[in-house]
Structure 1
Amino acid sequence: MSTSIAGIAVGAVLAVAILVFGFWGFLLVALFMAIGLLVGRFLDGKLDPRGLANALSGKRTS
């Protein structure tokens, strides 16, 4: 799947979420999508949890 198609799919899901669930439902769907992205990248081995924690705590830049 190309990044353009993935972007279109994400946009469509978020558009449906805001129409069906309202603003707060939209934010909740976006949050769960972000969590799913992080879990997926971790399982694929493309995300280093220690590096992410260090970057978020300010010990190291990304």
Structure 2
Amino acid sequence: MNTASLTRTGILIGAVLALTWIILGFWAFFFVAIAMIVGGIIGRILEGKLDATALVDVIRGRNTSS
């Protein structure tokens, strides 16, 4: 992705979150933001850009500095 595309994506995400907050309130905004984060993580795992086992180890607090 080029920089302009990333900028447009960021603007779109911000607009969706802002409109969610304005129209539906804070808790709807919060849950939409969490869903977007989880979706992004799942997308990265499916693309092969994020190692799921390493992510689970980080969440569990395991250090693997080899």
Q: Taking structure 1 as the reference length, what is the TM-score of the superposition?
A: 0.87
Unmatched 5+ stretches in structure 1: none
Cα RMSD between the aligned structures? 1.4
- Of residues 14-23 and 52-61 in structure 1, the stretch that sits farther from structure 2 once superposed is 52-61
Amino acid of the residue matched to residue 25 of structure 2? G
Aligned to 2:11: 8
Unmatched 5+ stretches in structure 2: none
Count residues with an aligned counterpart: 61
Q: Taking structure 2 as the reference length, what is the TM-score of the superposition?
A: 0.82
> Where does structure 1 differ by over 2 angstroms across 4 or more consecutive aligned residues?
none
